[in-house]
Structures are given as C-alpha cells and as structure tokens.
Amino acid sequence: MTDSYYAPVVHVADERDEGRMLRDVLRKRLGVSRRLFVKLKQSEEGLTINGEKAYPSFRLAIGDVVEFRMEQESSEDILPQPIPLDIVFEDEHLLVLNKPAGIIVHPTTGHYANTLANGVVHYWREKGESCRFRPVHRLDQDTSGLVVIAKHPYAHQQLSVQMTEGTIEKRYRAYVFGRPPQEAGEVNEPIGRVPTDPHRRAVLADGAPSLTFYEVSRAYPCGASALDIRLGTGRTHQIRVHMGWIGCPLLGDSYYADPQWEATELAALVKDAIGRQALHASLLAFRHPVTEERLELRAELPPDLQELERTLEGLPPL
C-alpha cells in the first residue's frame, strides 16, 4: 500500500450486511457520498475486502473486513506559517483546536495570512502529513474556543451530517450586560442578513429559524451576567444577535453594541477588562465520524475572560 492515501476507514461486516453488495453498504450503511464513492471506485487502492482489491458489486459475508482509502490532498493555496496551536484532540481523522481570540479560521479576501488555516497547514507539513484544510464549522475572529477540522473527505462529510441534524452539542460561555428574562430559557427567533450591511445579522421575520438555549451561571452584583449557552442551530453571529434581542448584549462586542448599555457606568468599568466580545466555545460533544465513539471535548476559559470574571466579581452594585 502506498503512502499517498489517508489512514483507511475500516468496517467489519455483520448480519445486517450479509449478502448485500459492497456499494450498498458503503452508500446506505456507512453514508459514503456519491461523489466520494465515485472517487473510491476510480482509485487503484480505494476499496479492499480482507486485504484484496474489491469491486462495488462484491457481496459481503459476516466477518468480511471492508476498508476504503482516500487519496491524500493538500491545501496548496494556503501559505504555511508557524503559528502556535492549542491542540485538544487529534487522530488520523480529526484535529480539534482551542482557537484564541483575534485569529480568523480560514483565509478570506484581504486576510491571506496569520489565520488558523495557515498554522494548521504548517503543522501538518512539519509532521509529514498531507491534508486539505477542512473546518467543520467556524468561530468569529474574536470568539475563542473549540474548532473541529476534518483531515479527509469522509470525516468532513460525516461531521457535516451531524451538524445538519443538530446532533453535535455546542456549548459556550458568554458574559452579558443585564439579566435575561428567566434563569434558564430559550430564544427562538429567525435570523437573517441585514440588507444594508452584508456582514451584519439581525432578528428578521423572513430570516432562517434560529434557536438558542441559555442558563444563568452567575448574576454579578454590578448588573452583568455569566451565561452558559447551548446552540440549537448554527447561524452566523447567532449568540450575539439573540442575546442582544433579549436585552443582554455581550460585553466587549463593539459590532453589536447597544448604545444604552454602552453609556452606563458598568460599560466604562469593564472597558479595559475585555477588548472583544466576551464569548468562548467551551464544549463540543459529537460522535467520532469513523469509530462512532462519543467524544466530549472542553476548553478552559482563556486568560482575558478569567480576568473579566475577576473584574466583575470585584465590582459593587451599580
């Protein structure tokens, strides 16, 4: 076997597969996309059963060891740069990072360097791995926390299905002005793009369905709150928009700042404590796309949010 392939995805046939054609098991049981299936068929070493080259029409018996291998790819358009990475989890299929605030996940127009992608591509090159940069989801530039990157197409496809089905659990810690209307509740309001500003989002009647769950973790005497937030959907700027909608905009969020809150004494007192939206992706839980093991990964609060907590705890009632 050449080294131009990713680590194989292995499946041992059981009674549900007995007598079924390989193509049916790959497509219907393992969820291999049509596009990837075509690539596997065309690849010289893409499909094997019990170590021997296999064809899609081969019928399986109980105990047959099915392996499929994808040819390696790379992100030639991304400049490798030595950027420090906080790796939370890694195997031959996935890389999960704790992204610091202030860094963009993927290069965009005008931001070709100093992104998370630049650092990951350099890291892989140093390890001798050839992978295309495939983030399963993204975080805003000034949001810190967990980001999942798939190392090959099948892992990306399977995790994308979980994202679409809402089975990936995503939890955040947010620090907001004010108090939510309930100690624990939900915001179920549609979010759409603001016509006059393509980057801005808002609650709009014709927006996409959007659901956010929140729970008050700490109510500070000064009038701020720490919230534990769970996403029911994954819209752009969802937490920032929904929290503003219920009258609790995020501390430090200049883009979605509420003028009334920004004019308060509390805003002045925390101005130097946080220089970005006070939002951190603290937990991700999902089914591993290959082993199907449940993974629950956490990222501790970064130093700036720890400092913000200390500041809020020390402020008197305002």
CA distances from 268 to 54, 123, 228, 271, 315 (A): 68, 41, 24, 5, 12
- Enter the tokens of residue 301: 């609060």
Q: Bridge-partner residues for 212, per DSSP?
A: 187, 231
Whether 140 is catalytic: yes
CA distances from 278 to 150, 156, 303 (A): 27, 29, 12
Q: Bridge-partner residues for 10, per DSSP?
A: 67
Residue from 17, 64, 140, 253 carrying the catalytic annotation: 140
Q: Are 62 and 49 in contact (CB under 8 A)?
A: no
As a whole number of angstroms, the distance between CA 201 and CA 203 comes to: 7
How many Cα atoms occupy the beta-carbon half-sphere of 22 within 13 Å?
22
Burial zone of 90 (CB within 10 Å; 0-12 exposed, 13-18 middle, 19+ buried): middle
Q: Which residues are marked as active site?
A: 140
